[in-house]
Amino acid sequence: MKKRFVIWTLILFSLYGLLLGLYFFQWTGVGVPPAYEGTAADPATFMTDRELQLSQEYSRYQNFLSFLGEPLEWIIYLGVMVFGVSLVFKNFGERISRFSFVQIPMFVLLLSTLTSILLFPLDYARRWLSVEYGISTQSFSSWMRDELIGFWVGYVIMALLITVLYFLMRKFQKRWWLFAWVLMIPFLIFMMYLQPVVIDPLYNDFTELQDKQLEEKILTLADEAEIPAERVYEVNMSEKTNSMNAYVNGIGSNLRIVLWDTTLERLQDKEVLFIMAHEIGHYVMNHLYWNLAGVIVATFFGLYFTYHLMKWSVRKWGGKFGFSKISDIATLPLFYLILTILSFVSSPVELAISRNAETDADRYAIEMTQDPEAAIGSFQELTVNGLSDVNPPALVKYLRYGHPTMMERIHMLESYQDVEIKKE
């Protein structure tokens, strides 16, 4: 079984990599459709030839690496079971302690560490590519610090969740997935409340916006939208990236309006105001809460299908992998495998919903600011600084993009501008 697994993995993954290479570097062309040529959405109108070349190269390499890495996590989880590593981790935890609240976090730590080590080369390749093309300005030591923070934050959260999950599996063999879902609801709300003030500051330094005139303008927009914000935060991202961003996140008293310092440095005030109006639009249209509701619904179906698929898988292959019941912690790689595959399968629907929400926020922002020129300019500048592909291949758009393409967004804004001109 082990030999067969290795051979078929090498054959199928090599074939997958070859097809990806052909798709991104041979079968998909570059450029824009004839209908967009010469418009504000045509990168040739706001990017130099060199910038355009770098954008196309960078996007292709990044997309190739992203899609190449998609099945690697699945292979790792499957390999951990095939080679008996899962049983080794389980036995190690049992030697350390007879208590499950020690054994389970230890298993999660060992599996997380192994997965991170095996995926590190791909993560480093993405980071190297970003540095080479001038997107990332972050030193290796700073990047590693963020990686380690992310690892330990993720570990603490997962260790807690998995410990509770496997307790429920032992206690309620047929309804553990339902009880787990019920407990996830307050946890997700709590994390949404906690994120801006506890987790985000672990990675970056947040200060009050230094430009008080701009802050007053942003707070005026927020006041018009009835957002209960008293200040705007600035985050130091220039030491890590040349990309630009802004966001509104959190709930209740922990709500935060945040601007990256790169956005402040590269955009004019009126362009910043459009970006902020877009983020305010998400708040006004309750996208934060709709997103939370979507995660809750997705979690329900994810756990439901995972329960049935795990039960079937354990019955069919459990003997070969060394476990006979779902509540055995050795099944954790199987749980991860099923959950990540379900997440991938459902991602086109989730991304389509996200793209629709982003379009609505763009419309809200242009209606609020009434400045199409600034709106178009902000997206053009975002494209140049991030070396974004304005017209990505269909596979990338539907399996990776939570936003409409830059071409679609700029074209929508230009169409709005044309309508306004005709009205005048």
Cα first-last separation, the chain: 73
Q: Is 278 annotated as a binding residue?
A: yes
- Cβ(248)–Cβ(283) below 8 Å: yes
Between CA 311 and CA 254 the distance in angstroms is 41
DSSP 295-346: HHHHHHHHHHHHHHHHHHHHHHHHHHHT--STTSGGGHHHHHHHHHHHHHHH
Q: Is 350 annotated as a binding residue?
A: no
> What is the largest distance, in Å, between two alpha-carbon atoms of the chain?
79
Q: How far is CA 55 from CA 167, 327, 398, in A?
A: 49, 48, 19
Task: Give the full edge-to-edge strand order of the sheet including 206-208.
Answer: 206-208, 233-235, 256-260, 246-249
C-alpha R_g of the chain? 24
DSSP 70: T
Consecutive H or E run containing 120: helix 100-132
Q: Is 358 annotated as a binding residue?
A: yes
- Cβ(42)–Cβ(32) below 8 Å: yes
Catalytic residues: 279, 362
DSSP 15: H
Residue type, 151: F
As to burial, measured by CB atoms within 10 angstroms (0-12 exposed, 13-18 middle, 19+ buried), residue 135 is buried
- Cβ(340)–Cβ(390) below 8 Å: no
The candidate with the shortest Cα–Cα distance to 46, out of 406, 362, 369, 421, is 406
Consecutive H or E run containing 235: strand 233-235
Place of tokens 């310092």: 261
Number of H helices, E strands in the chain: 15, 4
Please give the annotated binding residues for Zn(2+), written as ranges: 278, 282, 358
Please give the annotated binding residues, written as ranges: 278, 282, 358
